[in-house]
Structures are given as C-alpha cells and as structure tokens.
C-alpha cells in the first residue's frame, strides 16, 4: 500500500514548472527541515529557504552589547537561555563577558528567575527576554506574577518580535519568494487571520504546517499547488485554531503593547515588536533604542542568510572560520539557526 508521504513525494518529484522559492519563518521548522533532509527530497525546481524565524538570530548586536554592559554592573546578574550566551556582540559575547568577570547565569525556564529574585532580594536580576508571539505569554505571566508579589529586583531586557509586519516587509522587498510555510507555533497563539490577510494582499500562498516530515512535505506540496493564489490553508488544525489562543493573547495584551523593533538583516520595522506597557515599565531594563547591528566579524553574512538571499554555505566563513565551536554570527550559534543546521545536518548529504 502506498503511504501518503510517498504519494506526496512522487507528486513533488514530478514538478516541472518554473523554479519556485518557498520560505519557512519558524526556527523549529528550519531545524526539522534540515533534520529530515527535506531539501534533498525536493526536485531542483523547488527551493526551500529559511527566513527570519529564529528569535536569537534576528536579535541585533546592540541588544547583545546591552546584555554585556548589564552583566558588568554592580550587584546585577543577567539571566538568559543558553543560545544567547554565545552570540557575538560588537566586541564580545555574554559568555566572554562572564569569563572576564561579568555576572550572567544560564537558565532552562524563565520561571527560574522568579525563584532567584525571591531568594536574593538585595540583588538585581535582568532577564534577556527575546522571542516571538510564542514566548511573549510566558514573559507576560512572569511579569504579572512579579508585580503581584511586589518583586523590585527583577527586570527584563525585551527584544520581542511579532511576525506579521516582518512578513509584509519580506513580501515588499524580496519579490522572488513564491510561498510561505506559516509558523505553526506562532499561529497556535495568534490564530491565522493576519496570515490570511497577508496572503490576500500580496497574492502569495501561505500554508500553516506542523513539524513532522509528512506534515512539512504535505504543506510544501500544497504551496506548489497554490502558486499564484493569495490563499491560506491550515494543515495543522489539531494545534492551530483560526482564532488562536485567546487566553495567551489577552495575557500579552495586558502586559505589552506594539512598538517598532530592529531585526538583524532588516533594520527597524514599525509595529513588529512588543514593549512593556506604562503600568509595567518598572520592569524594563533600558530596552529602547537598541538598533545597531554591526557584529564583531564584519564578514559574517547572517543578515543575508536570514532573508534567504544566500544559503549558509555561500558565506565565505561557513565551515572554516565559522563552525558551531567557533561561531562568528548568531545563525551558527542558535539551535534554530540555519547556519547551525546546514553545518550539523546538511553537510555531505
Ligand atoms: S556561516 Fe557564520 S559567519 Fe557565515 S553567515 Fe553563518 S553565522 Fe555568519
């Protein structure tokens, strides 16, 4: 009996239309596409490229520099997830700052910071709050809790991004993209209406996809079939409801408001970020105005990789000066970065 995945692969392999480029804008999809070797299963006429879907990768250098600066302030500790630790700033990474006397600790869950703040009330903690619509509700819950408990020693350096304005920017500036895999996790929170609207405005198909090989291939095949149509299909209905998650949305709206945000490789996009509302600004750790994006290694091509303008392998530093052990840019550090995945999963395939 033919398996559904074989049927999809067979239809994809018969594609003989004009060359098309399809973009995923979700770090987990980037990771799974590489892990399953999906690029190598597609015919030459269908190219998958990775967009700005990795939260650490799109975070600008000025943000890393601010973390480094904060780690050197008296009586202050920066708290961060692991990936951000090794992202190069303009002069050093947080991990290098720590090695030379800065105060920084790595956590696996943001809630660990609440515990630290309760246990050491005389010490200041700053959490590196990067991410998209998926992590914003977690930060919102922490900040609400901190306010309820009256914690005064905890702040957030926020660099939270929202995807729709960035996708509009890509549609305006990168005309050679013929369809998008809409981010499944983000859509689970926000719902699909924004993406439906963008599809209609630009006449580009969007398909909401899950993360298994079968789900990704089915979504890619749907994008191929929908070429030239401004329509959205939801191929992940077990997780993504059209209206999203209203409880998570209302938690985010209570604590954050929309703002402009700087994206690596793109610059500032109005309405593409979240900042603390006035009522919660006491928890902000000087998050405004972090736009500068000049990394330590000026030859790093992360900005172009993030827009799908070049493949990671086309960067002259890929696999030589830049490897996961010696990352020169954020895209090689992050477990959701495309350079990292081209290096760890796709080389030699
Ligand atoms: S291979 Fe390294 S230097 Fe090149 S774009 Fe990727 S992260 Fe930057």
Angle of CA points 89, 261, 62, to nearest 5°: 15
Given ligand 1 and candidates 299, 322, 337, which is best to mutate, with the most ligand atoms within 8 Å of its CB?
Answer: 322
> How many domains does the structure of the chain reveal?
3
Is ligand 1 within 6 A of the CB of residue 331?
Answer: yes
Does residue 44 lie in a domain region?
yes
**227 and 262 part of one domain:** no
Q: Considering the chain, what is the average pLDDT of its residues?
A: 91
pLDDT in tens, 197-211: 999 999 999 999 999
In ligand 1, the atom with minimum distance to the C-alpha of 332 is 7
Residue nearest to atom 3 of ligand 1 (CA): 300
**191 and 337 part of one domain:** no
What is the C-alpha separation between 347 and 40, in angstroms, rounded? Answer: 11
**172 and 276 part of one domain:** no
pLDDT in tens, 28-83: 898 899 888 898 889 999 999 999 888 889 999 999 999 999 999 999 999 998 78
Does residue 294 lie in a domain region?
no
Decide if 76 contacts 335 (C-beta within 8 A).
no
Give the CA count within 13 Å in the CB-facing half-sphere of 162. Answer: 23
**109 and 256 part of one domain:** yes
Predicted TM-score (pTM) of the model is 0.90
The residue among 290 and 57 whose pLDDT is bigger is 57
Given ligand 1 and candidates 317, 321, 325, 343, which is best to mutate, with the most ligand atoms within 8 Å of its CB?
Answer: 317
Check whether 233 has a pLDDT greater than 60: yes
Tell me how far CA of residue 83 lies from CA of 8, 41, 237, 330, in angstroms.
35, 29, 30, 9
Q: Residue 221: which domain range? A: 4-54+164-178+185-234
Does residue 314 lie in a domain region?
yes
CATH of the domain at 107: 3.40.50.11740
Is ligand 1 within 6 A of the CB of residue 328?
Answer: yes
């Amino acid at each position: 009996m033919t398996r559904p995945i074989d049927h999809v692969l067979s239809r994809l392999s018969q594609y003989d239309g004009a060359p098309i480029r399809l973009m995923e804008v979700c770090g987990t999809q980037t990771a799974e596409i590489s892990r399953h070797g999906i690029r190598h299963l597609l015919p030459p006429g269908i190219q998958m490229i990775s967009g700005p879907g990795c939260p650490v990768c799109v975070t600008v250098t000025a943000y890393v520099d601010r973390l480094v600066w904060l780690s050197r302030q008296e009586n202050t500790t920066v708290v961060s997830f692991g990936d951000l630790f090794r992202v190069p700033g303009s002069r050093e990474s947080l991990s290098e700052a720590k090695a030379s006397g800065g105060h920084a600790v790595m956590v696996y869950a943001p809630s660990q910071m609440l515990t630290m703040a309760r246990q050491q009330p005389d010490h200041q903690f700053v959490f590196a709050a990067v991410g998209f619509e998926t992590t914003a509700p977690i930060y919102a819950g922490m900040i609400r809790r901190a306010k309820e408990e009256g914690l005064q020693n905890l702040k957030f350096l926020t660099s939270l991004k929202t995807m729709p304005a960035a996708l509009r920017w890509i549609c305006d500036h990168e005309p050679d993209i013929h369809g998008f895999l809409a981010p499944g996790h983000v859509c689970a929170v926000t719902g699909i209406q924004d993406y439906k609207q963008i599809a209609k405005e630009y006449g580009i198909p969007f398909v909401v996809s899950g993360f298994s090989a079968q789900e990704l291939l089915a979504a890619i095949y749907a994008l191929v079939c929908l070429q030239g149509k401004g329509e959205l299909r939801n191929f992940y209905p077990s997780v993504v409801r059209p209206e999203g998650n209203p409880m998570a949305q209302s938690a985010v709206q209570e604590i954050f408001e929309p703002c402009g945000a700087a994206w690596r490789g793109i610059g500032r996009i109005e309405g593409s970020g979240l900042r603390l509302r006035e009522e919660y600004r006491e928890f902000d750790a000087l998050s405004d105005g972090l736009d500068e994006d000049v990394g330590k290694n000026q030859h790093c091509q992360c900005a172009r990789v993030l827009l799908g303008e070049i493949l990671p392998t086309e960067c002259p530093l890929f696999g030589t000066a830049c490897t996961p052990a010696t990352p020169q840019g954020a895209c090689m550090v992050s477990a959701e970065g495309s350079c990292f995945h081209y290096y760890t999963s796709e080389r030699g395939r």
